[in-house]
Each structure stands twice: as C-alpha cells, then as structure tokens.
Amino acid sequence: MWKYISKRLAQGLIVLLIVSSLGFIIFQFLGDPVTAMAGQYATQAELAEVRHALGLDQPIYIQYFNFINNAVHGNFGMSYMARLPAAEIVFQRLPASIELALAAEVIAIFFGVTFGVLVAAFPRSAFSKFIAFGALFGVSLPSFAVGISLILVFAVIFPILPPLGRGELVELPWGWQTGFLTLDGLKHLILPAFTLGMLQLSLLFRLTRSGMQEALRSDYIRTARAKGLGHISVLFKHALRNVLIPVVTIIGLQFGQLIGFSIVTESIFQWPGTGNLLLAAIFDSDFPIIASYIILIATLVVLLNTIVDITYAFLNPRIRYD
C-alpha cells in the first residue's frame, strides 16, 4: 500500500512539473504585464527597469528555473497587480471555491441519487418523465445559461435570493472564512451551488438510474421482494448499495473538477473564489497568481485522485494495489 501511495505521489510531482512548464509556455503568449505595472506614461527605460526588477528580462529557461526553485521554497512571487504575495492571495480565495464546490457536490449527490432511484423505480410516472427531460437540459445547457436564468428568476423577477457575492461570513481558525454558518451566507450559496452542481447532478442521476434499472431486474432483488421486504427497503438498502460503487468513484473524481471548473459560475455570481481570481489574473497577465493557482489546483486534483483510489481499495477488498 505504502509503495503504491509513494508511487502515486511521485507521479503527481511529475504532473505538477509538466503542468507548471505548460503554464510557463502559455505565459509567454499572454502578453506583457509590465505596461500595466509601470503605468501608461512609463518610458522604455522605465519599463526596462520594471522588467529587470521582476526578472522578466532573463531568458525563459532561467526564469523557469528560478520559478521552480522559489516554488520549492514556498515562494510563488508577488502578484504583479496586487503587489502582495501571490500564494497568500490564492489561499485567501480558496475557502470560497471549496465551499461552493462542496455545496454543489451535496446538491448533486442528494438530488442526483434520489431522482435516479425514484425514476428507476417508477419509470412511467409523469414525475419521472419530467425529471428525465430536465436532466437532458442539465447536461446540455452551459452553466452561464443556467446561472443567468436562475438569477433572472430568483433574484430579479422574484427577489428572494441574492444575485451575487458570498454574504455574511464567519471567521474560523486559520483564517478560513465560511459562509456555511449564517443564514445570509447560505442564501448566497444556493444559486451558484445549483449552477455549478447542475452538470454533475444530471450525470449522477443518469448513472444511478441506469444502474438501478439494471439492479432492479436482477435475481437478488426479486428474492428480497419475495421475502416480503418493504418497497423502500428494497430500493435503498439492497439495490442502491450495489449501484453506489461507480457513483462514489465519479463523485470523488469530479470534486477536483468542481473546484477547477468553477470559473464560469464564479464570474456570473461574482463569487470571490479562485476561479474569479484566475480570470482577472489572465486578463492582467498576472503570472505569479496564475502559476500559484495552477499548482494549487493540480495538487488538489492529484491528491483527490489518490485518495479516491485508496478509498476504493477499502470499499472493495478485492482490489489490491501492489
């Protein structure tokens, strides 16, 4: 097991190296941050001075080497625009993204799995047809369309939910600001979490439904029914359990994506998370922020994938990593 974990972490490091060098190559085409930093009146000599102060006048491979060297020592440089340590800025914005992803995940699991079970159990009801139709929308509609429609309906036409921001926050230890603990914070969470969770909700729904349809036809279910077990018990205790294994895998794998791909949702709802930060940083060619973000998200995804693989082995003892 330990051998497997260390192997996975080593692979993760290689992924990080590749991702960071890709980021570096992209940065060369992002444009020049120096103009915005020095102000529009700066002369070429002053621009050169700023460029030198940032080390941007050196050849690309030296810049990359310095970047990796500093990163290993925990220094991701100063944000060009904020003139503050980049990693600190990204970390300050991370709680917002993680909470949004968690909320989206919970919504997706709750509605996705419940609807999946119900629709498989009662395929002919009007409710099932409606849900199946809705799921098609959930898969095919881009999140900006979902988000804007939700804002229009629930914030503008019926002003019951706020359209933007995170609302009232509470400071937890280690500077983690949470919106989970206030009513206002939860209200702000609903629309963006639904928007972000919609795609995964639809995927989980379809996965659960097809799994359940398969399971409900199998012999052990018939046996359970024949024993006289209740309908609910058969559905959730017997059938769903067997369906859950692939569902759990998907949930784990997609959590990283929920954090990484929340950019669109965050920008629609002006959610103060990392996605919004990345977008602004790309516009401003603020490379230290972009690099910190890429490394942080890549680390998260690698860690999550490793954890999923390990949990999988615990869930199903037949799987071994040697």
d(CA 259, CA 273): 9
Return the residue of 13, 62, 148, 245 that touches another protein, per CB under 8 A.
148
170 lines the binding site for another protein (CB under 8 A)? yes
Phi, psi (deg, nearest 5) at residue 21? -70, -35
The least distance separating another protein from the CB of residue 67, rounded to whole angstroms, comes to 18
Return the residue of 152, 232, 315, 319 that touches another protein, per CB under 8 A.
152
Q: Which amino acid is at 216?
A: L
151 lines the binding site for another protein (CB under 8 A)? yes
Helices (H), the chain: 2-27, 34-38, 44-54, 60-72, 86-121, 126-140, 143-151, 183-216, 219-226, 231-232, 240-260, 263-268, 274-283, 287-315
29 lines the binding site for another protein (CB under 8 A)? yes
55 lines the binding site for another protein (CB under 8 A)? no
Identify whether the C-beta of residue 188 lies closer than 8 Å to the C-beta of residue 103. no
SS3 174: helix
d(CA 96, CA 130): 33
285 lines the binding site for another protein (CB under 8 A)? yes
174 lines the binding site for another protein (CB under 8 A)? no
Return the residue of 63, 87, 93, 105 that touches another protein, per CB under 8 A.
93
162 lines the binding site for another protein (CB under 8 A)? yes
- Residue ranges of E strands in 26-78: none
294 lines the binding site for another protein (CB under 8 A)? no
284 lines the binding site for another protein (CB under 8 A)? yes
Q: Which one of the spans 13-21, 121-129, 180-188, 203-211 is the region binding another protein (CB under 8 A)?
A: 180-188
Q: How many residues does the chain have?
A: 322
Identify whether the C-beta of residue 3 lies closer than 8 Å to the C-beta of residue 322. yes
- Residue ranges of E strands in 78-165: none
Residue 147, judged by CB atoms within 10 A of its CB (0-12, 13-18, 19+), counts as: buried
164 lines the binding site for another protein (CB under 8 A)? yes
**Which residues in 183-222 contact another protein (CB under 8 A)?**
184
The least distance separating another protein from the CB of residue 142, rounded to whole angstroms, comes to 13
Write the DSSP string, 61-74.
HHHHHHHHHHHHTT
155 lines the binding site for another protein (CB under 8 A)? yes
Residues that bind another protein (CB under 8 A): 29-33, 35-47, 49-50, 53, 78, 81-85, 88-89, 92-93, 96, 148, 151-152, 155-156, 159, 162-172, 177-178, 181-182, 184, 267-273, 276-277, 280, 283-285
